[in-house]
Structure 1
Amino acid sequence: MTHTSTTEPVEDSPSETPEEGRIAEPQDGKALKRVMSSRHLFMITLAGVIGTGLFLGTGQVIGQAGPGGTIVAYIVGGVLLYLTMVCLGELSVVMPVSGSFQAHATKFIGPGTGFTIGWIYWLSWASFIGLEFLSAGIIMRYWFPNTPTWVWSAFFIVVLFLINCFTARSFAETEYLLAGIKVLAVAMFIVLGALAMFGVIGMRDQAPPFLSNFTEHGGFFPTSIGAVFAAMMTVVYTFMGSEVMGVAAGETRNPSKAVPRAVKTIVFRLVFLYLGAIVILVALIPWQKVGLNESPFVTVFNSIGIPYSASLMNFVVLIAVLSVGNTGLYMCTRILWSLSKEHAAPRAFGRTTKRGIPFIALVVTLVFGLFSLLSSIVAADTLFVFLISVSGIGGALSWMAIAWSQFRFRRQYVRDGGRVSDLPYAAPWFPVTPVLVIVMNIAVFVAMGFDPTQRLSLILGLGIVPVCYAIHRFAVKGRQPVQPQRA
């Protein structure tokens, strides 16, 4: 659908402009629009990582690895997050397209890899969208027990669908608000918890613990160092979602300035929030008792005496669930749009409204999310298990694709006579950075293979990779324009 705009459009397939040291994109009349600002990009990335994994999943990690193991696991996860983000930052500046790492993989690795990564990543997010809406409906029953769950689920489906239908800026403003609430909740938890930890604020039926819970109850590593590897799987997955920065960069004004600014600040603030919350949790509650019956955040707020703490955290978790659903709709829609530009998905997915929204791709994503939710009821032991398995490894595969794309781009750029100092943003410590990202993610897969509870998910999740390559080879490749492969 043709449209005109006074804003800078996000176009289709990239072409090089060596004199600018970056990659520009030609228009084709089916473009998205650059309507997001730097503040949107920062908060969207922040919101992509702070989700239910932090508010609900930390108890599982602490119970598995103990205080020391949990802290080490989150530090290692934070390092992996940083290394991935700097790789993505370099690519997103030189090639700021809404398809992000999927489009990067197509150009710098190959169309087969771009096809595979794009569809696996889309499946990984779209499979969870329906579950997020169901979770939101279940959470609302805490306050409205007599209202059927489906009523609230349907309400949130309509709301988030309309938000994503309007403009990319409406999505960005909504995500900005949701991210602000989540960050405020975590910051408040860290401050109040620290005050209680050192006795400034009293705790119910408990003396100030100071640092005793780090040394007692079995010590710093009560479950052995080996438990860190098992916990790493959960920790890495909690950081997934940060790659939304690359997707949103394609609709952000002046990405050459906005992306480096986001990369330089986002990781350290995220790690501070995560590590700060983890330290407070293990300091205030013995690790064996964290998250056994409720969210560890609720446990701490109750012990401090915060009124309506359960309702407060229920609200925060609701915000986190809606934020994930909102981000999932946005990212899946843009991935489908990008795939259609490369003839790796139906052309209809590339059509945009006058406001620059890939409407058909949005509808298809939502319908598939609801189909995934239905499969959890009618095919829980077959199709749903497969979809969840793909979701489990989709993020790690995308991080590996980001690193490999950046490695090949940098090598190609230097070989063609480019100077690293001319890049608007360059990932440090090349080539160690992308290699470490790949090695660390492979280590996560290896750890999953040794865990009986994760082994089936690993096999099913990785099993779709050769299937996608085969589909591309025999059904898609002939319809795609030939791209010169240099590396």
Structure 2
Amino acid sequence: MQDPTDPSPSTKPKLQRHLKSRHLVFISLGGTIGTGLFLASGSSISQAGPGGALIAYGLIGIMVFFMMESLGEMATYLPISGSFNNYAGRFIEPALGFALGWNYFYNWSVTLAVELVAGGMVMEYWLPHVPNYVWSIIFLLFVMSLNVFSVKGYGEAEYWFAMIKVLVVLIFVLLGILVDTGVLGGVYIGLDTFRYGGIQAAGILPTFLTASFSFQGTELIGVAAGESENPSRNVPRAIKQVFWRILLFYILSMFIVGLIVPYDDPDLLKSSISDVSVSPFTLVFKKAGLDGAAHFMNAVILTTVLSAGNSGLYASSRTLFDLANERKAPHVFSKLTRFGVPIYCVLLTSAIGMLAFLTSLFGNGLWLVNISGVAGLIAWLGIAAAHWRFRLAYRAQNRREDELPFKARWFPFGPIFTFLVCLFVLVGQGYNSWFADPISASDIIACYIGIPVFFLFYFGYKLWKREGLFSAIIPLEEIDLDSGREEIIRHTMELDERKRLDPLEGVSILKPSTWKRIPRTLTSWRDATHN
């Protein structure tokens, strides 16, 4: 029964579809191009050699390609916010959707806390006497302001954050080529450094793990699809662009580093967000004669931290909103402002970000990473499994696959390959801890702590609903492939009609009516201030 205090479905606020194609592309780029590239890539080259690092990142990149293809097929067909848990709950079983949803929520909520702490550590480079918690408060208020008013504010912020990082990578590649050819730095290097490092076979497995964590964030397109302006067009376009750009940026950047910095350079092993002087990017910039490279990279890494915190707040709030709509979270979290923002979800995620203040009292706060270390991999496993079941249900219900808005290539190889690689990385992530001397039980537990947390949610839901272990798996013929489709079909028809009537619909220009509204708006602000 509908709550009599709630507005009717036709007047109830909804998530607003204001994210354009460029927003989706850069949201995913911004979630991936970060400290994994600017810092951790150095330790990857040091462990596996320049050739081994390229092999590891290339193979993991292929897995990410198939994962994105699977996600793209489902997110284009059913573009909803917080899609991962919803897909698993609809196409496999509700308990799995519940566990994946809460897993993804706490992953990004904790990521927000980690990034707030990291922001304080970055600012220590310039202002060492200001306490970390001051910067945590400032950065939390900043990312909250980007998320609390409208989704377009979040999308625009991510667009510019990611644009900065992309430009840095492009400048780095150009300068790296000039250094390698002797135009800058005065010494021709060629392929000598790359050949010297070669492939260090013993370090390739740990590099697989680093590469997997570095690519996490690409799946944010699935979260943002629910607020995409035209998901049937924008989501496939974004997925195609994002994969090749990320792979190009990572592979090309690491190739440049391998050409210039020897793999046994001791600085490459010291990847730390508190010391940007050891970033492989900084080392290459210095060889190009840019003495202020450390300050420049510190500013870039601060941008990366703010971008990750911004994405964390957005992803967590939308996932919690979807859980509330499915009645897997308290109903209050399904409330939206008139601007289409799940305000209580944003506030709860921000409150969890307050953990950053506590960690500033107990060191650098990196213990938070242990809580959500495997959550991204679990989300990818869920995407692969959900896509497998989605396509099987589509066939079982005698639907034509050529009618899918976007069709994943190489099915069923794609989801199977993604699932197996993710499982391999998930099990193997404790490799260094198992073979450490001496072995530390706490380090091993920290590597795998996310797995029991996931199963706690899974079996907790089953106990709550009094379900058997496999009794709730939905038969293929009964899987719901239609609920939610009517909204996107209607929205697409309305969008096409608006564009037919106004060819400039959606074009980013100021129309005459906008210019007329600016003086009126300024006058209103002036009157309100005087009153």
TM-score where L is the length of structure 2: 0.81
CA distance in 2, matches of 1:94, 1:295: 41
* Equivalent runs, 1:235-384 vs 2, <5 Å: 235-289=211-265, 290-292=267-269, 294-371=278-355, 374=358, 377=361
Aligned residues: 453
More off after superposition, 147-156 vs 404-413: 147-156
Q: Percent identity over the alignment?
A: 35
- Kindly indicate whether the alpha-carbon contact (under 8 Å) linking 2:133 and 2:357 is maintained by their aligned counterparts in 1: no
Match for residue 17 of structure 1?
none
More off after superposition, 156-165 vs 285-294: 285-294
Deviations 1:415-459 (A, max 9, x none): 211111111101001101000000001111232244326632343
Match for residue 184 of structure 2?
201
More off after superposition, 290-299 vs 82-91: 290-299
CA distance in 2, matches of 1:197, 1:154: 43
Q: How many angstroms does 1:350 deviate by?
A: 0.9
1:468 aligned residue (457, 463, 478): 457
- The runs of 5 or more residues in structure 1 that have no matched partner are 5-25
Match for residue 213 of structure 1?
193
Q: How many angstroms does 1:194 deviate by?
A: 1.1
Aligned in 2, Cα 1:49/1:2: closer, same or farther, shift over 3 Å?
farther
The alignment yields a C-alpha RMSD, in angstroms, of: 2.3
Aligned in 2, Cα 1:376/1:395: closer, same or farther, shift over 3 Å?
farther
* Equivalent runs, 1:114-129 vs 2, <5 Å: 114-129=97-112
Amino acid at match of 2:372: S
Deviations 1:356-387 (A, max 9, x none): 11111111111112226525756999xx85x5
TM-score where L is the length of structure 1: 0.88
- Kindly indicate whether the alpha-carbon contact (under 8 Å) linking 2:117 and 2:136 is maintained by their aligned counterparts in 1: yes
CA distance in 2, matches of 1:151, 1:429: 50
CA distance in 1, matches of 2:173, 2:347: 40
Q: Any idea what SS the aligned residue of 2:354 has? A: helix
- Kindly indicate whether the alpha-carbon contact (under 8 Å) linking 1:131 and 1:373 is maintained by their aligned counterparts in 2: no
Match for residue 480 of structure 2?
none
Match for residue 380 of structure 2?
399
Q: Any idea what SS the aligned residue of 2:406 has? A: coil
Match for residue 156 of structure 1?
139
CA distance in 2, matches of 1:68, 1:447: 21
Q: Any idea what SS the aligned residue of 1:392 has? A: coil
CA distance in 2, matches of 1:368, 1:335: 15
Aligned in 2, Cα 1:2/1:93: closer, same or farther, shift over 3 Å?
farther
Match for residue 186 of structure 1?
169
- Kindly indicate whether the alpha-carbon contact (under 8 Å) linking 2:80 and 2:223 is maintained by their aligned counterparts in 1: yes
CA distance in 2, matches of 1:251, 1:2: 22
Match for residue 14 of structure 1?
none
Deviations 1:238-279 (A, max 9, x none): 000111100001000110000111111110111000011100
CA distance in 1, matches of 2:475, 2:193: 55
CA distance in 2, matches of 1:399, 1:370: 27
- The runs of 5 or more residues in structure 2 that have no matched partner are 271-277, 435-442, 477-531
2:396 aligned residue (415, 423, 426): 415
Tell me, yes or no, if structure 1 residue 56 matches structure 2 residue 39: yes
CA distance in 1, matches of 2:260, 2:177: 9
- Kindly indicate whether the alpha-carbon contact (under 8 Å) linking 2:189 and 2:259 is maintained by their aligned counterparts in 1: yes
Aligned in 2, Cα 1:345/1:307: closer, same or farther, shift over 3 Å?
same
Amino acid at match of 1:319: T
CA distance in 2, matches of 1:360, 1:413: 36
Aligned in 2, Cα 1:340/1:466: closer, same or farther, shift over 3 Å?
same
Q: Any idea what SS the aligned residue of 2:373 has? A: helix
- Kindly indicate whether the alpha-carbon contact (under 8 Å) linking 1:2 and 1:354 is maintained by their aligned counterparts in 2: no
Q: How many angstroms does 1:88 deviate by?
A: 0.4
